Amino acid sequence: MALVKLREDPGTTIRVIYLVDGTVGRGGANRRDDVLLVQFFLNALWGKLNDGKTVFGGPGAAPAIDGVCGRITTGVIEAFQKWYWVQPARGAFIDGRVDPLPPGLKFGPVHKLPYTIIGLNAGFGLTFSVDRHARLSKEPGFPMELKSKLFV
């Protein structure tokens, strides 16, 4: 189930972090709550501008927030990873997955890159502001069914 944690080391980008409990994407558990959270971030960032550049995304509508992780959601996760990690040499690690963040870790053990869930949180904070990120449940389009589970 998706969850919220206060950061031990609050930064200028995010003060809290919204996490998944199981893997979302290719070969993942794809639990509805986790998928909704990931889809919300992907949808919110799709086609938005940060410093005059598109965060990520392309022509057409933003991906749906429906709680189902199918081919489109996995493809959008891959597109986000390509944008987030930027360096083509690291492209071999584009896996279409948003994995849970192990306690105390920020970087993957194999690829040494920040976990995708960190990128989704930081991308939202940088694009919209640290205050909006901290009050995610007030955002238009935030899934109603997550509000009662994340913000008790």
Please determine, for residue 6, whether its predicted confidence score (pLDDT) is greater than 60. no
> What's residue 115's pLDDT?
86
Candidates 80, 24, 81; CA nearest to 48 is 80
Check: CB of residue 44 under 8 Å from CB of residue 123: no
Tens of pLDDT, residues 72-86:
999 999 988 888 876
Candidates 13, 26, 20, 59; CA nearest to 40 is 20
SS3 110: coil
**How does strand 16-19 pair with strand 3-6?**
antiparallel
Query: If you average pLDDT over every residue of the chain, what do you get?
Result: 82
For residue 114, name the pLDDT band (cuts at 50, 70, 90).
confident
Which residues, at least 6 apart from 75, have a Cβ–Cβ distance to it below 8 Å?
96
> What's residue 99's pLDDT?
92
For the chain, give the percent of residues with pLDDT over 90. Answer: 36
> What's residue 11's pLDDT?
64
Please determine, for residue 121, whether its predicted confidence score (pLDDT) is greater than 80. yes
Please tell me the least confidently modeled range out of 59-63, 112-116, 140-144, 145-149. 59-63
Tens of pLDDT, residues 20-62:
999 999 999 999 999 999 999 999 999 886 666 677 777 667 8
Please determine, for residue 89, whether its predicted confidence score (pLDDT) is greater than 60. no
> What's residue 27's pLDDT?
95
